[in-house]
Amino acid sequence: MRYIILSAVLLSCFNGLLAQKVIPLYFPDSIPNSIPHANEETRTVDDKGVLLVGKISRPTLTLFLPEHVKGNVPAVVICPGGGYWINAVNIEGYDEARVLNSWGVAAFVLTYRIPDSAYCIHPEIAPLQDAQQAILQVRRHAVQWHIDPRRVGIMGFSAGGHLASTAGTHFDRVLVPDADSMSVRPDWMILGYPVISSDNAVAHRGSFEKLLGQHASDSLLKYFSNELQVTDRTPPAFLVHAQDDDGVAPQNSILFFQALMAHHVPAELHIYQKGGHGFGLHLPVKEERWMDRCKHWMELNGWIR
């Protein structure tokens, strides 16, 4: 009973937050690659206080716009993790958005579609479509939201890190309507313990099976194995992982970092000895805040001025 009451209270608080700043990612009835269906989205809070959004078929953006800033600010689209089954929107979304706001950076937490043939014609591209649309929306509303459209990055965690790195490596193929021919390429990537590779030795199989199905072809697996898709045009990346991550092997970040280096793409990789999987902002190391390292990296590259 105590857990039920606590969950109800937390959901009420989260819903109050969302009611203020949530916008649909697409115009009503214009979601590409969508099958008509009832909205079955679920929101639950687990015993650790994590807000889990499931069965997402109507993607949204939650806006976190910094206050009292002058001029146009940088922006980051955030893709929460959850194995392509759910979105853990608070610990891998809202928390980081508030930190970014404290730096004068606008943040947009994306709830992206769960790849499911019940409401997607081609489930494997639905999350990428939503990430591309989110980047376009931020750039289209740059004047309204006081954003510099030349400083729009993407952040993602776990499977959301796979989505963010997919957006950073598959931008030549635009999968959403783009009448203004705006770029869907993010200017940089911030990847927290990301799923990257489909190589059986390091792959997070659950994420790839949910995204591509249990019997995906080798060519499709390689197409979404993002260390294989890095080119000289891939945007710079900041990666953070833990050596003791038993969910997504740290080799995922290492392989992606090595691919970036091979193509002379600026990148920074931090692997902490302790942290496990899904640490969000909170490493089990006193006074160590990995996002401070990320801020320094963004300053180094001129995205935060």
pLDDT of residue 113: 98
pLDDT of residue 78: 98
What is the DSSP code string of 255-290? HHHHHHHHTT--EEEEEESS--S--TT--SSTT--H
Residues of the chain with pLDDT under 50: 1-19
Other CB atoms within 10 A of residue 100 CB: 28
pLDDT of residue 6: 41
Q: How do 189-192 and 147-157 pair as beta strands?
A: parallel
pLDDT of residue 1: 43
pLDDT of residue 218: 97
pLDDT in tens, 135-155: 999 999 999 999 999 999 999
pLDDT of residue 201: 96
- For 237, list phi and psi in degrees, rounded to 5: -140, 145
Fold for the domain defined by 2-300: Rossmann fold (3.40.50)
pLDDT of residue 158: 98
Locate the domains of the chain by residue range: 2-300
